[in-house]
Amino acid sequence: MTGDAVAVRDSGRALPVAGMLLGCLTAVAGLLHFAVSGILLGAFLLWPRTRGRARARFLAGARRLTATERWRRTVFFGDRFPEHHPRDRQILRYLAARAYAGLLGAVVIGLLGFGLVLAVLLVTGVVRSTVDWAELPAQILLGSVLLFLDLQGLVSLAALDARLARECFVPDERELLERRIGELAASRAAVVRAVDAERRRVERDLHDGVQQRLVALAMLLGRARRSRDAGRADALLAQAHREAGEVLAELRDVAWRVYPTALDSLGLREALAGVAERCALPVRLEYEVAGELPPPVETAAYFVVSESVTNAAKHAEAGELYVRVVRRDGVLSVLVRDDGAGGADPEGTGLAGLRGRVAALDGMLDVHSPAGGPTTVTAELPCV
């Protein structure tokens, strides 16, 4: 699914103190943007003829400030936000809330600094014996309470800053649902196209291959039947027998491309071994999958390997193929690499059909085929 609804925090690289200090400055910048824009563009915003252009300039500055805030959260707090373009109203609401929170944070940080100065003065007075010892416990208690309140205020403001960032930079449930609907519609259309392309390919294979061989077989049998020479008739029958065997082999290949029965009877590993055996090139297969896989995942993985191996054998001018199928953390990873010339078209009919088949399972298919090779096809299929 595109765009997780949670910002990922990497605390190992976070610099929260510097991030909060910088946030105070960006809050001032946001407040100045509202103030200066209101003074300079206020009249133009009220006049209908110039309202659109003035609003566009005002929003352009607001978007730059919002991009700065996103950068601040990413660099200093380690947040990772999904791809999202907030609406204009979200941007303005975020900048207004950030101006309030940032300025309040500056006040709290200033009070903390002022408290530290008073603490230094108190310690200096104790050392110099200018502070009455009877007053010291009360001052320490009061300072501790104020320090606690100040630190609690900083923690609360930090949490508010994070919540405001999530509300602005993370898609809401409605947007995530709309994205999901779009993804499902796109994957459904891709599956329909892939099935249609597969049906046309099967029809072409039957028409141009099996059908032509059956016609030739019928002609051989007809010639053998009409022949009055027993020796020639035997030769024609022997040729017809060989032709029948080739027809059966080609028909079996077509059936395997439609759906390999070995997936149901023997499993994915044996089905991939069959692909390797039928390939004209040597195939090195690594299979590291424990337990059973969901049938749709098995089928998609098989067709990724089968289509990639077939393309490499036909077009890549490769000398060897490497296939690896591994399951890690609930994801089946499929990799097919050849040592050919490269230059494969990722948007070709076969690869586009594979991408649609994989996308229907919420998976990912990547094709890397630079000129000169090698070509690497990688697929990741969730096993849930």
Q: Could you tell me the CATH number of the domain that includes residue 294?
A: 3.30.565.10
Q: Which residue has the higher pLDDT, 374 or 8?
A: 374
Percent of the chain with pLDDT over 70: 89
Residue 77, amino acid? F
Amino acid 2: pLDDT:
41
Q: pLDDT class for 13, splitting at 50, 70, 90?
A: very low
Q: How confident is the model at residue 349 (pLDDT cuts 50, 70, 90)?
A: low
Residue 178 lies in a domain: no
- Asked if residue 187 lies in contact with residue 354, where contact means CB atoms within 8 angstroms, the answer is no
Structural domain count, the chain: 3
Closest by CA position to 99, among listed 162, 34, 149: 34
Domain enclosing residue 135, as ranges: 8-171
Task: State the average pLDDT over residues 255-265.
Answer: 68
- Distance separating alpha carbons of residues 335 and 290, to the nearest angstrom: 17
Q: Which residue has the higher pLDDT, 259 or 222?
A: 222
Name which of 326, 340, 381 is nearest 357 in CA terms: 381
pTM of the model: 0.50
pLDDT value at position 144? 84
Task: Check pLDDT > 60 for residue 14.
Answer: no
Q: How far is CA 143 from CA 34, 122, 123, in A?
A: 37, 10, 12
Residues 337 and 278 in one domain: yes
Domain final residue pick, 106, 139, 171? 171
Looking at residue 36, what DSSP letter applies? H
> What pLDDT score does 326 carry?
92
Question: What's the average model confidence in pLDDT over 314-321?
Answer: 79
Residue 324 is predicted with a pLDDT of 92
The closest of 320, 317, 305 to 343, measured between CA atoms, is 317
User: Residue type at 372?
Assistant: G
pLDDT tens digits for range 16-73: 888 888 888 999 998 898 888 888 887 887 888 888 888 888 888 889 999 999 999 8
Mean pLDDT, rounded, for 206-223:
79
Say whether both 199 and 52 belong to one domain. Answer: no
The pLDDT assigned to 191 comes to 66
**Are 136 and 87 members of one domain?**
yes
Residue 128 buriedness (CB in 10 A; 0-12 / 13-18 / 19+) = exposed
